[in-house]
């Protein structure tokens, strides 16, 4: 069955536009509470965390009310990174966890992500069951069966200690100078403490959320401010998180951006050096071909999943591998945690630097990225990628690249855009190909 509300990463959209409305969130909370109650038993516990968007208060209250009405107990964490909610779901013996966030999107968007009791994303069948329940009449549980809501006061401290433990007691960040960009998001009160308590000299930017400035020209999608700060302070590295803390991007000591593909290579080589390498690494359809070639040189496979961390995690599970991720910086190290975690992933990269006594650029000498152009084309739903004109131009571009690059057209799972990605050896050539395809998509959309 096709899902009506759940997308690549939960439910997401513009605040005030269905389904990102208070009444829908009330019904969603009730539907989720009913489904979790049926599968977990009477009065399941659900933990709720959120990022720093101003609308988070409204949706937190609506979800809480719906869950309680369905007979579920609620534990409120307040502003916490998405992976912290996954952790607390596991350690609180909860049936599920909910994160109110739109990740790297601007403040006027919001959304909801769910975790199962093991701290992983919900399986499709559970999401479909929740959607089916949304369409049922809302019936409040009898008064003696209503749930209760409480706040968890020490959630931040628990998460900080968990992150620090993944770094290894034998290591220290003493002598390492870091600049940390918290994107005015959910990591603002935890990330600085993790790195400073491990001994690093830290300078922190974008850690003053006001409800509206989340991801505003800062964070993992906008690293110019971080790069400038790293150069000005002559720091060793800069670390940028996104609004909900499940992504991480680095900049090196020269302020050059190091993306998720490059970080995956560093992590894979570190695990090989430590004797912990798997036969392969999971990337996505968007992963740079340079990563695939560099891993192959070391005898490591790259398998590509559909875009989205849940698809990466599922393919990792199928292959029995422990390392996967996306170019965006959503990395999964399943040998240390259950889900994508920006802080934990950053610590794994720093561990690679510490163990090798090397800079990021030193660790990347075996990988050369192919030039890649990505154009986001705003389109309405329903554009046919198999139409004659789109197919004709796509086939022509593929023939022109002649195995020296890749073409990918796909709808975004989080935004109303079509992504046009062209990869190859000649930057001018692939820019022209990408723009031509984008123009064709715009034309096709106008004819719908």
**247, 328 in Cβ contact below 8 A?**
yes
Non-local (6+) Cβ contacts of 157 within 8 A are none
CA distances from 67 to 6, 56, 62, 147 (A): 18, 16, 9, 7
CA distances from 155 to 24, 55, 158, 338 (A): 28, 21, 5, 18
pTM: 0.91
Non-local (6+) Cβ contacts of 301 within 8 A are 279, 280, 281, 295
Thinking of the domain 11-153, which architecture would CATH place it in? 3-Layer(aba) Sandwich (3.40)
CATH class for domain 258-363?
alpha beta
Q: From the CB of residue 213, how many other CB atoms can be counted at a distance below 10 Å? A: 17
pLDDT (tens digit, 9 = 90+) per residue, 297-336? 999 999 999 988 889 999 999 999 999 999 999 999 999 9
| Separation CA 190–CA 352 (nearest Å) | 22
Considering the candidates 103, 327, 328, 394, report the single residue annotated as catalytic.
Answer: 103
pLDDT (tens digit, 9 = 90+) per residue, 139-168? 999 999 999 999 999 999 999 999 999 999
| Separation CA 268–CA 123 (nearest Å) | 28
Domain assignments of the chain as residue spans, ordered by start = 11-153, 158-255, 258-363, 372-447
Three-state secondary structure call for residue 431: helix
- The tens-digit pLDDT sequence of the chain (448 residues) is 789 999 878 999 999 999 999 999 999 999 999 999 998 877 999 999 999 999 999 999 999 999 999 999 999 999 999 999 999 999 999 999 999 999 999 999 999 999 999 998 898 999 999 999 999 999 999 999 999 999 999 999 999 999 999 999 999 999 999 999 999 999 999 999 999 999 999 999 999 999 999 999 999 999 999 999 999 999 999 999 999 999 999 999 999 999 999 999 999 999 999 999 999 999 999 899 999 999 999 999 999 999 888 899 999 999 999 999 999 999 999 999 989 999 999 999 999 999 999 999 999 999 999 999 999 998 866 677 888 889 999 999 999 988 778 899 988 776 788 899 999 989 999 999 999 999 999 888 777 6
Look up residue 57 and give its two tokens: 């208060």
Choose among 225, 289, 290, 270: nearest CA to 251.
225
CATH superfamily of 372-447: Alpha-D-phosphohexomutase, C-terminal domain (3.30.310.50)
Q: Under CATH, which number does the domain 158-255 receive?
A: 3.40.120.10
Q: Is 103 designated active site? A: yes
| Domains 258-363 and 372-447 equal at CATH topology level | no
| Separation CA 394–CA 401 (nearest Å) | 11
Non-local (6+) Cβ contacts of 148 within 8 A are 68, 73, 74
Would you give the distance in Å from CA 108 to the centre of its chain?
18
């Amino acid at each position: 069955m096709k899902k009506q509300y759940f997308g690549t990463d939960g439910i997401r959209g513009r605040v005030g536009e269905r389904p990102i409305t208070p009444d829908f969130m009330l019904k969603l909370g009730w539907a989720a509470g009913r489904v979790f109650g049926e599968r977990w038993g009477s009065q399941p516990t659900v933990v709720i965390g959120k990022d720093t968007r101003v609308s988070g208060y409204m949706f937190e209250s609506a979800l809480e009310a719906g869950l309680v009405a369905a007979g579920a107990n609620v534990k409120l964490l307040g502003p916490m990174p998405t992976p912290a909610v996954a952790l607390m779901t596991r350690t609180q013996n909860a049936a599920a966890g909910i994160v109110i966030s739109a990740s790297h999107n601007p403040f006027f968007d919001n959304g909801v992500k769910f975790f199962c009791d093991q701290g992983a994303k919900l399986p499709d069948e559970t999401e479909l069951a929740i959607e089916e329940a949304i369409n049922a009449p809302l019936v409040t549980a009898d008064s003696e069966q209503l749930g209760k809501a409480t706040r968890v006061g020490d959630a931040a401290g628990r998460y900080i200690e968990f992150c620090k433990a993944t770094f290894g007691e034998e290591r220290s960040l003493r002598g390492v100078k870091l600049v940390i960009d918290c994107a005015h998001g959910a990591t603002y009160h935890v990330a600085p403490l993790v790195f400073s308590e491990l001994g690093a000299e830290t300078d922190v930017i974008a850690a003053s959320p006001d409800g509206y400035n989340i991801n505003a020209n800062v964070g993992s999608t906008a690293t110019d401010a971080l790069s400038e700060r790293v150069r000005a302070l002559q720091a060793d590295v800069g670390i940028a998180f996104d609004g909900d803390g499940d992504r991480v991007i680095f900049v090196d000591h020269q302020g050059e951006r190091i993306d998720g593909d490059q970080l995956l290579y560093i992590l894979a080589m570190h695990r090989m050096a430590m004797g912990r390498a798997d036969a392969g690494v999971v990337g996505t359809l968007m992963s740079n071909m340079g990563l695939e070639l560099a891993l192959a040189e070391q005898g490591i496979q790259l398998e590509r999943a559909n875009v989205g961390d849940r698809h990466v995690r599922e393919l990792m599970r199928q292959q029995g591998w422990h390392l996967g991720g996306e170019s965006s910086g959503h990395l999964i190290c399943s040998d240390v945690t259950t889900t994508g975690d920006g802080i934990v992933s950053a610590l794994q990269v720093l561990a690679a630097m510490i163990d090798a006594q090397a800079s990021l650029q030193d660790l990347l000498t075996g990988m050369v990225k192919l030039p890649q152009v990505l154009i986001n084309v705003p389109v309405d739903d329903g554009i046919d990628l198999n139409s004659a004109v789109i197919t004709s131009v796509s086939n022509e571009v593929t023939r022109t690249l002649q195995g020296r690059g890749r073409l990918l057209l796909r709808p975004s799972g989080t935004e109303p855009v079509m992504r046009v990605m062209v990869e190859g050896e000649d930057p001018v050539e692939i820019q022209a190909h990408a723009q031509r395809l984008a123009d064709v998509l715009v034309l096709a959309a106008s004819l719908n």
